[in-house]
């Protein structure tokens, strides 16, 4: 029996060893940093949500790879076309598995958190500093890409939001479409006038679409900033105050008053595009062709920005970083250079309905392609973004949950904001 | 007698010794074969259960969040966990979901199995139809139910409108979101339970049923005194698998509500997932995992006690 047990243990140990060795080896390259680009071999692992899983998306990505290979001809590029929904899962599991990505494209809220965790590398050694980005890119995106005075991400495209109104609905309600409501008081009054109900009192057309039916985080951030109160000030939470409570109370007063909680259409498009809402928050581009919402619908839209004392425009975006544990940091930087060439950025902007994050975005092909992109491109210097604390990524889910509870009347707005403020680090 | 006993080992003839040796050899080879047969299962359990459990428990005492540095924090994650509103809501929702879904789905499954155990027309069709949800991907099921619950054009509101009821925001309304998910959970879990109950019902002694009928026992008395006791071990099996399944509910909630509105449908596994892979708090999520393991163990223990009480009755 003892011999049997012993041999069993030996077999078990051998198999475990084999399994462990197969997990640990074979997929991690030797570092190519310092190796001349023409001689560097290995696989550059790229996590990127910027190319949609369509033939066109793959085609555009291949063009970036082709450009990269002019510098690193012997290196392979292994893309992981993630979505923003599973970006964190991809990053965390790659770290847990010990096979980190070399290049990671993430959103505005990611950079500071990942920089503070030392998951992203400082781009300073490649000559990229906040000042350089200020010159070459959208200045308003610099704070979101900076941590502790160093730059950790290179902006690729900006994802902007505007507010739109339907001219016909305004005229029908006796409102002037050329003088859109801008502050929260005016917006609420107009929205209440524009809301249509059936005989049972059920809302049949929303007066104002808050755009994210179950997530108020970004809307709250924008509205709060429009009162001249940024979400974070010098890394400290700035929402547990009178303006913060007032803003949250405003959202609460709109839900189930001018818009039913959770309302969205099947296409998950802004409701104002289709006339399901008379006003509402939009994305950064609108397709006026027959494949999109059509020219007649487009002509019925007017765009404006929130302004309760300060005109602001919410901006997110895609930013490229190099992993601090990357095996091919130099090659990663070469890839980012290919990715941020104007031709690549224009293609990404078109594919994702976003705005190129280069200096002259207002004259980009994307900005000229539709009236909404033109409008948001002209307001990039008014950009405000979400986040501002090192643990924003950890708490933003909870931020959403608690705001929703306050909006639905399950929690007191002031206590909610105080609680969230206490969780911020 | 005693002399014989004492002498036996010393004068054991080769003929007598051989069977003893043979039997020891046989035992050894059986043990070896046993270990060999157990090896794949042990290996699997070791790699995919024991090691992860040990890691989860160890991580629950750290502040690991995928960054470069981490430290031991003792029981801090646990103390923070019990003060965390999301965890408390997830805990309460999970227990409530289990307490409603398990007994209701078991009772409905048993009732349907009793019906399918009769000689009725279209038996094969009904058996297949009830099993279809079990072999269908949860994401597909959730998508169909999302349409059923759609406030504008869904079947649920369409049906209620026939009786003059106003449309309801099933999944957006805090009062109806969790019950709506429970209905889907009950419906989805029926197939497996029905098959198990059906197999058990076909093993209930017909002799006993006939004897009871001849003694004048009513249908209910036959069910209570013959069928029900015979189903005892199966009930326990169904209970344990149901407890594990309902406490680990995730995909249904993830697709249909993502835990909302607010935390109205937040369940433990979804909260663990969000903490670990969205909020990147792996140490904290590990502590929550340990709590979930203990919770399942407590409920299985309660199930065992109930079964023992049932047998003793």
Which residues are CB-neighbours of B33 under 8 A, at least 6 positions away? none
- Homologous superfamily (CATH) of B80-312 is MetI-like (1.10.3720.10)
CA distances from B268 to A27, A98, B228, B242, B292 (A): 34, 27, 33, 16, 7
Which residues are CB-neighbours of A64 under 8 A, at least 6 positions away? A335, A338, A339, A344
Q: Could B282 and A404 be called an inter-chain contact, meaning their C-beta atoms sit closer than 8 Å?
A: no
Q: Could B66 and A91 be called an inter-chain contact, meaning their C-beta atoms sit closer than 8 Å?
A: yes
The more confident residue out of B121 and A173 is: A173
Residue B13 has pLDDT above 70, yes or no: no
pLDDT at B1: 38
Partners of B279 on chain A (C-beta within 8 Å) are 393-395, 397-398
Q: Of A96, A9, A29, A58, which Cα lies nearest the Cα of A330?
A: A29
A132-141 pLDDT, tens per residue? 888 888 888 8
pLDDT at A304: 97
Q: Could B259 and A89 be called an inter-chain contact, meaning their C-beta atoms sit closer than 8 Å?
A: no
Query: CATH number for the A42-160+316-384 domain, one of 3.30.360.10, 3.60.20.10, 3.40.190.10, 1.10.3720.10?
Result: 3.40.190.10
Q: Could B28 and A4 be called an inter-chain contact, meaning their C-beta atoms sit closer than 8 Å?
A: yes
Which residue ranges make up each domain of chain B? 12-59, 80-312
pLDDT at B8: 47
Partners of B31 on chain A (C-beta within 8 Å) are 1, 4
B169 to chain A, any CB pair closer than 8 A? The answer is: yes
Nearest Cβ partner for A401 among B67, B262, B277: B262
A292-337 pLDDT, tens per residue? 999 999 999 999 999 999 999 999 999 999 999 999 999 999 999 9
Q: How many CA atoms lie within 13 A of B113 on its CB side?
A: 26
ipTM of model: 0.79
> Which regions of chain A carry the CATH code 3.40.190.10?
42-160+316-384
Identify the residue among B70, B92, B280, B285 best suited for mutation to test binding to A, counting A beta carbons within 10 A and taking the highest.
B280
Predicted confidence band of residue B17 (pLDDT cuts 50, 70, 90): low
Predicted confidence band of residue A199 (pLDDT cuts 50, 70, 90): confident
- The predicted model gives B22-44 an average pLDDT of 90
Cα B61 → chain centroid: 28
B78-94 pLDDT, tens per residue? 999 998 889 999 999 99
B263 to chain A, any CB pair closer than 8 A? The answer is: yes
- The predicted model gives A342-348 an average pLDDT of 96
- Quote the CA–CA distance of A374 and A303 in Å, as a whole number: 10
pLDDT at A356: 95
Residue B168 has pLDDT above 80, yes or no: yes
Q: Among residues of chain B, what percentage have pLDDT more than 70?
A: 93
Indicate left, alpha or beta for A323 from its phi (over 0: left) and psi (-120 to 50: alpha). beta
- Quote the CA–CA distance of A184 and A330 in Å, as a whole number: 49
Nearest Cβ partner for B167 among A202, A395, A397: A202
B176 to chain A, any CB pair closer than 8 A? The answer is: no
pLDDT at B4: 43
C-beta separation of B186 from B101 below 8 A: yes
- Quote the CA–CA distance of B130 and B140 in Å, as a whole number: 16
* Residues of chain B numbered 28-57 and touching chain A (CB < 8 Å): 28, 31-32, 35-36, 39, 42-43, 46-47
C-beta separation of A348 from A156 below 8 A: yes
pLDDT at A2: 54
- The predicted model gives B276-292 an average pLDDT of 92
Predicted confidence band of residue A16 (pLDDT cuts 50, 70, 90): low
pLDDT at A13: 57
Residue B126 has pLDDT above 70, yes or no: yes
B260 to chain A, any CB pair closer than 8 A? The answer is: yes
> How many CB pairs lie under 8 A apart between chains A and B?
100
Q: What is the mean pLDDT of chain A?
A: 90
Predicted confidence band of residue B176 (pLDDT cuts 50, 70, 90): very high
Residue B6 has pLDDT above 50, yes or no: no
């Amino acid at each position: 029996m003892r011999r049997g047990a012993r041999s069993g243990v030996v077999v078990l140990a051998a198999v475990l060893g084999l399994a462990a060795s197969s997990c640990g080896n074979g997929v991690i390259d030797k570092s190519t940093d310092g190796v001349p680009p023409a001689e560097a071999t290995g696989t550059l692992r790229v996590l990127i949500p910027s190319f949609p899983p369509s033939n066109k998306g793959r085609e555009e990505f291949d063009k970036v790879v082709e450009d990269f290979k002019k510098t690193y001809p012997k290196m392979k590029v292994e893309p992981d076309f993630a979505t923003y929904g599973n970006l964190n899962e991809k990053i965390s599991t790659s770290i847990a598995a010990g096979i980190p990505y070399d290049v990671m494209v993430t959103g505005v809220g990611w950079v500071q958190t990942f920089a503070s965790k030392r998951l992203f590398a400082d781009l300073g050694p490649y000559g990229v500093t906040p000042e350089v980005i200020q010159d070459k890119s959208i200045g308003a995106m610099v704070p979101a890409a900076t941590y502790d005075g160093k730059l950790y991400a290179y902006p690729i495209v900006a994802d902007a939001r505007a507010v739109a109104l339907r001219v016909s609905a305004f005229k029908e309600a006796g409102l002037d479409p050329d003088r859109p409501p801008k502050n929260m008081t005016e917006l609420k009054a107009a929205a209440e006038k524009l809301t249509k109900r059936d005989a049972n009192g059920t809302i049949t057309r929303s007066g104002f679409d808050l755009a994210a039916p179950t997530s108020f985080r970004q809307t709250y951030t924008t509205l709060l900033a429009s009162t001249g109160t940024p979400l974070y000030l010098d890394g400290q939470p700035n929402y547990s105050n009178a303006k913060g409570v007032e803003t949250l109370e405003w959202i609460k007063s709109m839900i189930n008053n001018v818009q039913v909680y959770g309302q969205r259409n099947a296409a998950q498009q802004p409701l104002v595009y289709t006339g399901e809402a008379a006003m509402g928050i939009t994305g950064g581009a609108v397709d006026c062709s027959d494949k999109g919402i059509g020219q007649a619908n487009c002509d019925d839209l007017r765009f404006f920005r929130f302004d309760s004392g300060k005109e602001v425009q919410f901006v997110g975006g895609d930013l490229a970083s190099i992993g601090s544990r990357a095996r091919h940091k130099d090659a990663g930087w070469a890839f980012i250079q290919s990715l941020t060439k104007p031709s690549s950025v224009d293609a990404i902007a078109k594919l994702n309905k976003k705005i190129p994050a280069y200096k002259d975005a207002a004259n980009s092909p994307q900005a000229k392609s539709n009236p909404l992109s033109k409008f948001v491109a002209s307001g990039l210097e008014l950009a405000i973004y979400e986040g501002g604390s090192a643990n924003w990524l950890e708490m933003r889910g909870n931020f959403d949950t608690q705001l929703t509870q306050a909006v639905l009347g399950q929690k007191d707005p002031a206590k909610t904001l105080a609680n969230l403020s206490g969780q911020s680090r | 007698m005693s002399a014989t006993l004492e002498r036996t080992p010393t004068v054991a003839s080769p003929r007598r010794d051989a069977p003893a040796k043979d039997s020891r050899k046989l035992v050894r080879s059986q043990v070896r074969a046993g270990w060999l047969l157990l090896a794949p299962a042990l290996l699997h359990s070791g790699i995919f259960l024991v090691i992860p459990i040990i890691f989860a428990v160890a991580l629950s005492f750290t502040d690991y969040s995928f960054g470069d540095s981490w430290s031991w924090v003792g029981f801090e994650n646990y103390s923070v966990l019990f003060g965390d509103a999301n965890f408390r809501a997830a805990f309460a929702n999970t227990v409530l979901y289990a307490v409603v879904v398990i007994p209701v789905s078991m009772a409905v499954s048993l009732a349907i199995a009793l019906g399918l155990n009769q000689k009725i027309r279209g038996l094969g069709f009904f058996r297949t139809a009830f099993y279809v949800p079990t072999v269908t991907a949860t994401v597909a099921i959730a998508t169909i139910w999302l349409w059923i619950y759609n406030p504008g054009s869904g079947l649920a509101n369409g049906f209620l409108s026939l009786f003059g009821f106003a449309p309801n925001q099933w999944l957006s309304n805090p009062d109806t979101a969790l019950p709506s998910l429970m209905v889907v959970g009950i419906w989805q879990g029926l197939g497996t339970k029905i098959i198990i109950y059906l197999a058990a019902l076909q093993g209930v002694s017909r002799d006993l049923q006939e004897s009871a009928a001849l003694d004048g026992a009513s249908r209910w008395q036959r069910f209570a005194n013959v069928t029900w006791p015979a189903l005892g071990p199966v009930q326990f099996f169904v209970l344990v698998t149901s407890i594990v399944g309902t406490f680990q509910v995730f995909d249904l909630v993830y697709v249909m509500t993502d835990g909302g509105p607010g935390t109205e449908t937040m369940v433990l596994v979804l909260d663990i997932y969000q903490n670990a892979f969205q909020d990147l708090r792996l140490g904290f999520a590990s502590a929550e995992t340990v709590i979930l393991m203990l919770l399942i163990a407590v409920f299985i223990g309660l199930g065992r006690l109930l079964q023992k009480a049932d047998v003793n009755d």
